[in-house]
Amino acid sequence: ALERAVELLREFEKRDDADVKKSFAHANKREETRQAEFAARKADYLKEAAQIELERTRVEYEEKKKLAQSQAEIKAQVARYEDELRRKRAQHEHEAQRARNQELVKMQEESAIKLEQLRRQSEEEINEIRRRTEKEKARIEQETMRLQKMADAEAKALELQLSEDVKRRLLIERANAEREKWVQAINTTFEHIGGIP
């Protein structure tokens, strides 16, 4: 550019004033044209830069929008997953509680059956003890009546041989002794029966 300017200056020195003026006018016109083209290119550049910035802003907005949507979807998925976990946990706890209730009912039923069996067994044992007691009581009563009859017969026989006072005293003593003996035997028997498990 410097060499071109020097060359133009030499040409200006060779020419007359009219040519110089024309040359300057022509140079000025070319410079104006160049400045106008530069301004136009600058305007185009600024316009393009504005469009690029607008496109960048739009892309950034779209990316932020997609990111927000993605985050919202992930958050919704996490919420659904947590809800599913809570539901499954509640269902599992419900099933476990139902199983425990069923086991408890089963244990109660088994316990009731065992108690009923024990009650029946105890009732049968008590009835057996009562039957044996009644049987032993009847046997003792029969034996007591037999001995009482024997004592009466012996008393009558003695009454024929002894005097009235002696016979009465002996009869009373004998009857008392026999009665005491059988009362003791009966008491012993009942104590033995009462001690049966």
| pTM given for the model | 0.34
Average pLDDT, the chain: 79
Contact 148, 178 (CB under 8 A): yes
Interval 22-44 mean pLDDT: 75
Interval 150-162 mean pLDDT: 71
DSSP for 144-164, written as a single string: HHHHHHHHHHHHHHHHHHS-H
Q: Kindly tell me if the per-residue pLDDT of 130 is higher than 80.
A: yes
Q: Which pLDDT band, with edges at 50, 70 and 90, does 163 fall under? A: low
The full set of domain ranges for the chain reads 2-194
DSSP conformation class of 163 = -
Contact 196, 129 (CB under 8 A): yes
Give pLDDT, residue 44.
83
